[in-house]
A and B are shown apart, each in its own frame.
Chain A
Amino acid sequence: MKETNRIKKDSNESLLCTDSGTLCNQESCYDTMTISSFIDGEISPEESEEVKNHLDNCPVCRQVVDHYLSFEKALNSGIASSFKDQDVKILQNRIMATHDLYAKKGADLNGIQNKIRSKLHSIKDFASSSIFSLPKIYLQIASLAAIIILSITALRDITDVNAPMQSVMAQSSPSAIVTSVNGDISSVIILETEDTHHTIIWYQEV
């Protein structure tokens, strides 16, 4: 738990507490961080009791608390009033409809997976008696060669492009989304920019 902090101020910064009619000395006021933690119940019970006692006599700190609580009320009220019971019911129906579709797809997929598995077994049998049974080192060499060839090709393409990469990066921000395609594995957003007509952003779910 965090220790409470009192604000140190000039002793002449006292003001009259309107409720109790007593002088409230701001020297004993708590900082806003402590009040924030107090509202969240994240200070010790003893400290919390001290803050409560202080709030009984200090309109300044009480106003801070009231403000903080009004923010919570506003957010909860804003969220609550943006949905009607009907929306929630429609959402539930949508979720269950999608669930049923996925469940059906899952059942279909199981059948396909079983077929694939049996096919793979036969391929495995074939591979074990063919060139696929070559040592792993050959496979690694082939993969490395493929990566090198692809890298060389890609680098050549980049150097051939007339516009340098920097100018592409420096283009102005996009002005509209042309389309967005959401897939199971990855998604694509096509944005319209001022200088080039389209910019494609590809996104892969992690």
Chain B
Amino acid sequence: MLGEGEKTPKRVHSYGFFGVTTLHVKLDEKQLLQELKKGNRLAFEHLVKRYQHRLLSIACGITLDREESLEIVQDVFMRVHQNIHTFRGESSLMSWMRIITVNLSLNWKRKWLRRFRWKHHDIETEDGGILPDAENSGEHETPEAKYIDRQLEQKIMKNIALMPEKMRTVFVLKTVEHLSYEEIAQTLNIKTGTVRSRLHNARQLLAESLNE
């Protein structure tokens, strides 16, 4: 199961990263960036551990494809590794990686491949579909309540899958990352008004589908 990613890295070490062999230290962003630019492997591993959950959630929310999300996140970290020297630190590392993740998830080449996979395999099937597994969810509920929740969840997820990708991307950034309208607008290079209306439309679309 996905854990909650760290959102606010705590600074527990004021000294340098050299000589530290454990990965349990929490570096602040500036220290981490410095070490990444030096090519420090431990720093990179630290970066992966810190952000992979969150990036995976974003990619998965947009693509709704488990296998592809794993590939995308791997690609994101490789791009970070290759381009870290060009990163000026004007935004946070997470903002930068989030933009890369969104762009890769919306990459048209991947969309083509995804469409083909979806065409030939139902989204509910085991190979890549992200609809929740009945056995894994709602362990503490009564069987009846679990069934109702499961049915509702499935219905919602099906309709999320049917949403236009641009709308879903905004919905995912709000729901998974809890970004403000301003942050979403910056990430996607759109206006805050567009974010507001896309989110509202997404919710209305889902609400209408529940009444069908």
Contact residues in A for B206 (Cβ distance below 8 Å)? 67, 71
Contact residues in B for A67 (Cβ distance below 8 Å)? 203, 206-207, 210
Complex partner residue of A40 from B56, B66, B116, B174, CB under 8 angstroms = B174
Chain A 92-150 residues near chain B, CB threshold 8 A:
92, 94-96, 98-100, 102-103
Select the stretch in B12-20, B26-34, B70-78, B87-95 that faces chain A: B70-78
Residues of chain A at the chain B interface (Cβ within 8 Å)? 2, 32-33, 36-37, 40-42, 64, 67-68, 70-85, 87-88, 91-92, 94-96, 98-100, 102-103, 176-177, 180, 187, 189, 201, 203
Given contacts A67-B210, A78-B157, A85-B1, contact A91 B109 (CB under 8 A): no
- Are A82 and B199 touching (Cβ within 8 A)? no
Q: Taking CB as reference atom, which chain B residue is nearest A93?
A: B48
Contact residues in B for A83 (Cβ distance below 8 Å)? 1-2, 56, 60, 66
In the assembled complex, the Cα of A103 lies from the Cα of B108 at a distance in Å of 29
- Are A75 and B78 touching (Cβ within 8 A)? no
- Are B153 and A36 touching (Cβ within 8 A)? no
* Chain A proximity mask over B135-173: 1 for CB below 8 Å, otherwise 0: 011000000000000001100110010000000000110
- Are B108 and A203 touching (Cβ within 8 A)? yes
Sorting the interface of chain B by its residue count into under 10, 10 to 19, 20 to 34 or 35 or more gives 35 or more
In the assembled complex, the Cα of A64 lies from the Cα of B70 at a distance in Å of 34
- Are A79 and B2 touching (Cβ within 8 A)? yes
- Are A82 and B200 touching (Cβ within 8 A)? no
Residues of chain B at the chain A interface (Cβ within 8 Å)? 1-2, 39, 41, 44-45, 48-49, 52-53, 56-57, 60-61, 66, 70, 73-74, 77-78, 81-82, 108-109, 112-113, 116, 120, 130-133, 136-137, 152-153, 156-157, 160, 171-172, 174-176, 180-181, 196-197, 199-200, 203-204, 206-207, 210
- Are A36 and B116 touching (Cβ within 8 A)? no
Closest 4 CB pairs of A and B: A74-B156, A81-B132, A82-B130, A36-B200
Complex partner residue of B60 from A68, A79, A177, A189, CB under 8 angstroms = A79
In the assembled complex, the Cα of A70 lies from the Cα of B203 at a distance in Å of 10
- Are B136 and A201 touching (Cβ within 8 A)? no
- Are B153 and A74 touching (Cβ within 8 A)? yes
Q: Taking CB as reference atom, which chain A residue is nearest B55?
A: A91
- Are B112 and A36 touching (Cβ within 8 A)? no
